[in-house]
Structure 1
Amino acid sequence: MLLFTLAIGFVMAMIDVTAVNTALGSISADLQVPLSGLVWVVDGYTLTFAAFLLAGGALADRIGARQTYQGGLLVFVAGSLACALAPSGSTLVAARLLQGTGAALFMPSSLSLLTHAAPDDAARTRMVGTWSALVGCAATIGPLVGGLLVHEFGWRSVFWINLPLGLAGIVLAQMLAPAPAAHRRPLSMLSHVLGVLTLAALSFLLIEGPVRGWISPSVAVAAISALLFAAVLVWRERAAAHPILPRALLDSSSFAAANFTGFLINFAVFGQIFLLSLFFQQAHGSNALETGMKILPMLAASTIGNFLSGRVIARTGTRPSLLGGLAVSAVMGAVLTRSGPHTPYLLMMAGVLVMYLAIGLAIPAMTTTVMQVAGKVHANIAAAALNANRQIGALVGVAAMGSILHAVGDWGWRLTLGFGAIGLAYAIACLLVHQHVRQHQRQSSTDPDATLQAGH
């Protein structure tokens, strides 16, 4: 029950992401939203999710993880209500921004509460694997739930379902979740604001660039702004007495490599979901329910990988699981570049299933690596950093696939370029892990210095 309680927030978030992808066609038709608007519907949520995750982790340290988790659920429920009632595309995007803010609050808190509930590394590995599997199950049923809801009740029902789930999560957290003491770590508001501005400018650049033209004044201003805000953020973090990320984490190459691996994995996973959702709806003429059914097997394969990961990690350790999953996924990305609109569904899906089974094995190993390196002392901020990087990866992945769809009209070339980008992302992640992530020794996470040293 504790695992279910702590997974409920991310379960909602995952169902929401995958279900919304199956509803894109209905949203476009009902609210007259163009392709760039659909990208904003997906990425608007991801933008605030990524931008406020580190603030969510710091807030969990400052006021307590359980209170932050419950507050995030409440904000997410409010955003879902606004989405369900949205009268226009712009209003829907604004409500999605609110949803993302709520998710940014409850996501790092849930992993932190999980870390405090586990007595040792072995138990934590099993709990993280089970937690990931629950999240994976939510991702798996998301397209089916979304397709059924849209088919029977319309796209707004995708958001109505979050209300009972979110309220149940708030009550269960009060009853079952631990309440670790707050650390009162300083909250660097200026750095968080600079991060938000950087991501906002980057999002505008990636989403509007293909529509308005890469040399248009507004896009050029966004590009310059993103570089400027990012440079000031880096300078401030290097000079700050209390940076967003503790220096012990910044100095760990394993921590940096695992975080960037999270970025690349989500770039590939969410970019592929967006690409295939529109492919099935536009190239194959599938409705929302049919699209959900077609996407369901690949997410089920990822869930199976999550369930198997605990046993694989126990036998081989985190590094081999991470390397193997990424390597297989990179190879399958290269193979799938040969796909086209006339490729039989079963043949394409066979390659996709192998890729998602492999990446399902890799994701818990990546998460475990980050949390082991961080230890209990830095659990909140480490979880926030990992998920911020993953959400930024999802944002950039969806935007990149949107750029490909804008630039190329033929679905054969769209699939070739899309799967090529996905395979390249996995290959780069595999190289990073090979060079910077060593086999982590099983040490007590109550000794953060030893854990951080092992992470080097």
Structure 2
Amino acid sequence: MSQSEPSTAKRKLSLLAACLGFVVVILDVSVVNVATDALSKDFGGSLSGLEWVINGYTLTFAAFLLSTGSLGDRFDPKRIYQVGFALFAVASFACGASTTLVALIVSRVVQGLGAAMIVPSSLSIVNKSFPDAGERAKAVSLWAAAGGLALALGPVVGGVLIDQLGWRSIFFVNVPIAVAGIWLTQANAPATVRAADAPRRSFDLLGQVLAVVALGTFTAAIIEANGRGWGSAFVIGCLVAFAVATIAFVAAEKRSSDPMLPLHLFGRKAFTSTSLIGVLVNFAFYGLIFVFSLFFQSVWDYSPIVAGLAFLPMTAAIMTANLSCGPLAKRYGARAVLITGSSLAALGYLGTLPAVHSGSYFAIVAQFLVAGFGIGLVVPAMTNAMLSAVDSGNIGIASGVLNASRQLGGLIGVAIMGLIVGDAKSDTFTSGLQTALGWAVAALVGCALLSAFGIHRAAKAKAAAAPAAATAPAAAKAAVPAK
């Protein structure tokens, strides 16, 4: 081992530090869904306010993910990781200390920015800590598995904390984890020293600003339409701003010499198809997680901990499918696994439609298992298909696009399905939930069709490299920083 290489102990502790950051980012996607009822009781906010608590985080996460990878290239991923973790910790404390819903939403937005800095730089730290390719592959798998475990246990952990200590505890718990992560990183993670003549990606400031404006105004329009109506001046103004910002973003990226989103990649059918599949699968999954969290607590009167446990069979099925996906994709190809997974998930949610009126959890648990297993097959196979669609020089950008598209899908899913179900206390909530399930089924049928007609039959070369825990929403597979 050369003097520049970290020792075995330091490598393991560096991996632990990177995993801690990834875990808290994933936890804060899922635990808040279980807190919606508690937040509603404490703040008395509307459904749109609750959607902003969730989507404020997802919005900034998605909007900045394509750019934060380049920050590590420019300023050292170790430093960016520590700054992002510190920002995440401060924002988490502010979330827990919030006395108004507006303060909580603003703090969640800042949390999302910290999360966008943590995820790509954490994987860069893993890559740097394990120079041997074989050891690196194992380390990345452990890093990804940590995110998958956080996703699976998020609703349960959130339910326990909320039930025993109140909703503020789900945010305060991030602070000591962040302190430990920052200290472990400082003590063990190797710093990156770049040669003076090494090329660096530029920061696409104009593209970043336009992306934030486009995503922000689109999110605002969908969420606020529930209370204000589609014909309100605010909603119409947001939609106009979204259209203008989107057109300007495309024009800016076409002119940029180093764009955050190289548009020429969308000329490849498989790249475009997998990007759309990422939007649709997260639209269905995270939209339904949000409305079912409300349904379990507001309609079936579950406590937060019981509501969290209600999701455990689904997330366990997801993890089981993650582990099965690699061998299946290697044998049958990513296209076949995508079609199968999308179809299973659609059938599972379709079977849930009549069961929501039963009042019995046992009437829906089998459908949850089928839907979860299908989702668990789709995401790693989708990742494999995306990486197979681009050359090695664009893998970082491609994975960033896929993760951003998934975050966008989750954001739209929460907003649209929240709009469909309306007030959780309304007599029409259950029928709205059935409509939301129908939308999810349609989205997953769209995934199957895109897989059938947009993915090449031979897309199986990289199946074995897909992370085991590929369902993590902010995404193990999409966190490779751009070169």
Instruction: Determine if the TM-score, normalized by the shorter chain, exceeds 0.5.
Output: yes
Of 105, 108, 118, the match for 1:93: 105
Distance 1:124 1:372 in 2: 20
Of 344, 354, 373, the match for 1:338: 354
Distance 1:437 1:123 in 2: 31
Of 437, 443, 447, the match for 2:455: 437
Q: Paired residue for 1:361? A: 377
Q: How does 1:61-210 map to 2 (within 5 A)?
A: 61-113=73-125, 130-175=142-187, 177=189, 183-210=199-226
Q: Aligned pair 1:58/2:74, yes or no?
A: no
Q: Structure 1's 63 and 378: CA in aligned 2 closer, same or farther, altered over 3 A?
A: farther
Q: Paired residue for 1:235? A: 251
Per-residue CA distance 1:241-298 (angstroms, 9 max, x = gap): 2221246644433222222221212111111110110000111011211211212221
Per-residue CA distance 1:341-395 (angstroms, 9 max, x = gap): 3252112121011111121122222233334545664444333322211111111
CA contact (8 A) 1:21 1:274 kept: yes
Q: Secondary structure at the match of 2:398?
A: helix
Of 2, 5, 9, the match for 2:21: 9
Per-residue CA distance 1:54-82 (angstroms, 9 max, x = gap): 12122223223333233222211111011
Question: What amino acid maps onto 1:423 in structure 2?
Answer: V
- Say which structure is richer in helix: 1
Q: Aligned pair 1:266/2:282, yes or no?
A: yes
Distance 1:83 1:304 in 2: 33
Distance 2:380 2:139 in 1: 10
Name the count of aligned residue pairs. Answer: 445
Q: Paired residue for 1:449? A: none
- What TM-score does the superposition give when structure 2 sets the normalisation length? 0.84
Question: What amino acid maps onto 1:286 in structure 2?
Answer: Y
Question: What amino acid maps onto 1:213 in structure 2?
Answer: G
Q: Structure 1's 409 and 326: CA in aligned 2 closer, same or farther, altered over 3 A?
A: same
Per-residue CA distance 1:196-218 (angstroms, 9 max, x = gap): 00111011100001100110111
Q: Paired residue for 1:212? A: 228
Q: Paired residue for 1:424? A: 442
Distance 1:99 1:87 in 2: 17
Of 16, 20, 29, the match for 2:41: 29
Unaligned runs of 5+ in 1: 446-456
Unaligned runs of 5+ in 2: 1-12, 466-483
CA contact (8 A) 1:263 1:389 kept: yes
What's the offset of the Cα at 1:117?
A: 6.9
CA contact (8 A) 1:325 1:359 kept: yes
Deviates more, 1:228-237 or 1:56-65: 56-65
What's the offset of the Cα at 1:193?
A: 0.2
What's the offset of the Cα at 1:89?
A: 0.6
Question: What amino acid maps onto 2:450 in structure 1?
Answer: L
Q: Secondary structure at the match of 1:340?
A: helix
Deviates more, 1:390-399 or 1:4-13: 4-13
What's the offset of the Cα at 1:400?
A: 0.8
Q: Structure 1's 4 and 310: CA in aligned 2 closer, same or farther, altered over 3 A?
A: farther
| Identity of matched residues, % | 36
What RMSD in Å do the two structures reach over aligned CA positions?
2.8
Q: Paired residue for 1:452? A: none
Distance 2:192 2:397 in 1: 14
Of 38, 50, 56, the match for 2:50: 38
Per-residue CA distance 1:298-322 (angstroms, 9 max, x = gap): 1222122223333333444433333
Q: Structure 1's 442 and 136: CA in aligned 2 closer, same or farther, altered over 3 A?
A: closer
Q: Structure 1's 228 and 186: CA in aligned 2 closer, same or farther, altered over 3 A?
A: same
Q: Aligned pair 1:298/2:314, yes or no?
A: yes
Q: Structure 1's 337 and 254: CA in aligned 2 closer, same or farther, altered over 3 A?
A: same
CA contact (8 A) 1:186 1:242 kept: yes
Per-residue CA distance 1:158-187 (angstroms, 9 max, x = gap): 001111222223333445556566641111
Deviates more, 1:265-274 or 1:3-12: 3-12
